[in-house]
Chains A and B, each alone.
Chain A
Amino acid sequence: MLRDAWLVAGKDLRIEVRSKVALGQVAPFAFVVVLLFGLALGPAVGRGSVLSAAAPGLFWVAVLLATVLAVQRSFAVEAADGAADGLRLSGLDPAGVFLGKAAAVAGQLLVLELFLAAAVSLVYDRHLSALVVLAASCVTATIGLVAAGVLYGVVSMGARQRETLLPLLFFPLVAPILLGATKLWGEALAGAPGRGSGWLELLGAFAVAYCAIGVVAFGPLLEEA
């Protein structure tokens, strides 16, 4: 399973290196979202302004939107030639495919989050503090997001309207992640990172639950997509 996960993750990342879709389209899209929030809620910046206060939430909404695109891209790659039959025929362990695809998307998203956080900090004029808490919440939240995303990504792969179906399925499901990660960031940036420890566990529970479901359910779902 892990061998197959490694193989699939390597393949997906290599495709990204070659095609640069995440770099050239998903990341710029996330930055555009950050700018749009600025236009909608600005122009006041600095301590006490709407933008500064909302920065954690806006950051995570941008991440959520980027996740949908990244997951869609991850499955568009499979559907391009052979409509997923290739994956089914490959002989790969479906659990390994799930973990591999999730790892590749998570890796891309974590890099994106790094730059997006810097952008939010600059554009919304919000100083980043308690970096360890920020990083920990990023990693845990991203694992949960990606596990749920890849799980629903394969569900919607078989649908004719997959572009619209995935967001409908995905966003309500990951609402707890948005809440938890935003709270953690809000507290960390407000200088009271200790209070949110329960949130990190909630994010962790979500990540574990959906990784487990994904490992078990990806096979049957891939079969039917």
Chain B
Amino acid sequence: MGAAISLRECVSLSGRFPLLAGLSLEVREGEVVHLRGPNGAGKSSLLRLCAGLVPVVSGSAVVLGHDLRTDRHSVRREVGLLGHSGFLYDDLSVERNVRFAVRAARADPGQVEGALRRLGLDGRLRHVPVARLSAGQRRRVSLAVLVARRPRLWLLDEPHAGLDQDGRAELDQLVVEARAAGSTVVLASHELERASAVSDRVVGLAGGRVVAASLCEGRVAGEVGSDVA
């Protein structure tokens, strides 16, 4: 198995402020990694960097085989980022939003229907403009886009925020399924127990660097352990 994410001494800036201060991280394909760390540790920045949104100032960064120092564009079609904002158009309906995102990413539009059903958006909500949805419902729409797109690399930034109990359970299930389908998942979450339960590995960030890493115990971690050995 190759590396989905391979970062070495990565520095990225916002203005003159270093978001990442020499961060190194290796994520293998098919692995689920849980990012932890206090607010401002660099979790969101790391996810945005992997999505090709933030330039790499120094160090090396290869994501899904694309060298981000020379090409930050090609990776974007292959990753699915669930950010703080959902990249949704307020005035479009739920279904239109999902369809537009799926077609823009050149994914199979046939997956839209199933994705909507999966996130409980296939009923009355389908034709409702996103502007009228609650934060949790918007998150479901963004997740539906990812489900329909089936990206090789899922980058989830606080995916649990705003979701109700059912939604959280559904999200966990989606992560497990994505992993089973061979996708790589990196999720940043303060829902420690919940996120670790579906993760192979926990990586602690602080000050824009990796400060700790450990394997997860439990069901999924056991599988990874056998992989490593």
Interface residues of A (CB under 8 A from B): 4, 7, 11, 14-15, 18-19, 77, 80-83, 85-86, 88-92
Contacts and interface: CB of A to CB of B under 8 A. Distances in A.
A7 B92 contact: no
Contacts of B52: 88-89
Nearest to B77: A91
A126 B180 CA distance: 71
A83 B84 CA distance: 11
A80 B86 CA distance: 10
B105 A14 contact: no
B87 A81 contact: yes
B100 A81 contact: no
B53 A88 contact: yes
B85 A89 contact: no
B83 interface: yes
> Contact residue range for chain B?
20 to 34
A54 B91 CA distance: 39
Chain A at the B interface: mostly helix, strand, loop or mixed?
A: helix
Q: Shortest 10 CB-CB distances between A and B: which pairs? A: A86-B87, A91-B77, A82-B85, A82-B87, A90-B104, A19-B91, A18-B91, A91-B105, A15-B91, A81-B85
Interface in B72-99: 76-77, 79, 81, 83, 85-92, 96
Interface of B: 48, 51-53, 76-77, 79, 81, 83, 85-92, 96, 100-101, 103-106, 129
B85, B86, B91 — which one has the most chain A CB atoms within 10 A of its CB?
A: B91
B95 to A, nearest CB: 12
Which residue, B87, B101, B106, has most C-beta atoms of chain A within 10 A?
Answer: B87
Given A11-B92, A14-B96, A18-B91, A92 B104 contact: yes
B100 A7 contact: yes
Given A88-B76, A89-B51, A89-B53, A82 B92 contact: no
Given A4-B104, A18-B129, A89-B81, 4 more contacts: A11-B92, A11-B96, A81-B90, A85-B53
